[in-house]
């Protein structure tokens, strides 16, 4: 196992993209704070500002679920797969999670009722990573 393998490098890139997305949500909060003149440390005010805060906080709530699952799946599942394209599932689920979060943000900022599709897509990405993690860890136990 080498962390310079393509599967690990792609998961590293996905990790950076997730962090950049989180920074982006913070910029959106700052943008809405300025637009609606909501001075720090206030966390309430205009509904558009509050939705931006909610997107950022919800993304933060999901990061400690997403990132460990991405890396557990990458470390245990990917090397255990003998079919090459299946070893890329953690990376695929990572991309699905990020795309879901982007859709969630865009939907929520437009109107709260439009956030569900993005949330469900991100949830599918996280569930896929959970399954890959469990399968990979179980396979590692079976060969030890």
**pLDDT, tens digit, 9 for 90 and up, residues 15-68:** 999 999 999 999 999 999 999 999 999 999 999 999 999 999 999 999 999 999
**Structural domains in the chain?**
6-143 (1.20.120.550)
| Other CB atoms within 10 A of residue 18 CB | 20
Of 33, 60, 26, 37, the C-alpha closest to 49 is: 33
Which stretch of DSSP H or E encloses residue 35?
helix 6-35
Of 66, 55, 89, 80, the C-alpha closest to 137 is: 80
The tokens for 89 are 């599932």
E-strand stretches of the chain? none
pLDDT tens digits, residue range 69-108? 999 999 999 888 877 789 999 999 999 999 999 999 999 9
DSSP state at residue 46: S
d(CA 43, CA 65): 24
């Amino acid at each position: 196992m080498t962390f310079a393998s393509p599967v690990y490098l792609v998961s590293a890139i996905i990790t950076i993209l997730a962090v950049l997305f989180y920074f982006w949500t913070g910029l959106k909060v700052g943008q809405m704070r300025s637009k609606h003149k909501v001075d720090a440390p206030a966390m309430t005010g205009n509904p558009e500002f509050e939705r931006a805060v909610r997107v950022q906080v919800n993304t933060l709530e999901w990061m400690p679920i997403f990132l460990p699952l991405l890396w557990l799946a990458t470390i245990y599942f990917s090397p255990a797969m003998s079919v090459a394209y299946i070893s890329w599932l953690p990376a695929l689920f990572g991309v699905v999670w990020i795309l879901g979060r982007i859709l969630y943000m865009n939907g929520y900022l437009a109107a709260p009722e439009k956030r569900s599709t993005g949330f469900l897509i991100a949830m599918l990405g996280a569930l896929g990573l959970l399954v890959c993690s469990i399968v990979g860890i179980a396979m590692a136990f079976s060969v030890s």
